[in-house]
């Protein structure tokens, strides 16, 4: 498969209960992996993304574009107390 297109996806890596890490790609449904370290999980995700996108391209399907953005919100102790007051 030859393609001149680069794809960029947001990845999320979270600690797992057993001390390992779980990584996934929100824009690619079902594209996830595990690893013993963050670095290994990141490598495994890159491999999983390559396989996933290659399969879509080979099947003539559209590759989803990651159009999301990420933001973090802080909820203060005072705001929490107001909810339960």
Tokens encoding 62: 């559209």
| Cβ 40 vs Cβ 46: under 8 Å | no
Q: What is the mean pLDDT of residues 64-81?
A: 84
Residue 2 has pLDDT above 60, yes or no: no
Q: Which residue's entry shows tokens 């963050």?
A: 38
Q: How confident is the model at residue 1 (pLDDT cuts 50, 70, 90)?
A: low
Q: What's the CA gap between 12 and 25, in Å, rounded?
A: 6
Domain 12-83 has CATH 3.30.160.250: yes
**CB neighbourhood size of 48 (10 A):** 19
Q: Where are the domains of the chain?
A: 12-83
What tens digit of pLDDT does each residue of 6-65 get? Answer: 899 999 999 998 899 999 999 999 999 999 999 999 999 999 999 999 999 999 999 998
Gyration radius of the chain's alpha carbons: 18
Phi, psi of 45 (to 5 degrees): -65, -40
């Amino acid at each position: 498969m030859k393609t001149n297109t680069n794809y960029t996806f947001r990845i999320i890596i979270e600690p797992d209960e057993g001390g390992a890490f779980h990584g996934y790609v929100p824009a690619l449904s079902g594209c996830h992996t595990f690893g013993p370290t963050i670095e290994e999980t990141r490598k495994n995700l890159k491999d999983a993304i390559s396989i996933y996108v290659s399969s879509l391209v080979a099947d003539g399907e559209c590759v989803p574009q990651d159009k999301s953005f990420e933001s973090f919100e802080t909820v203060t102790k005072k705001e929490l107390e107001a909810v339960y007051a």
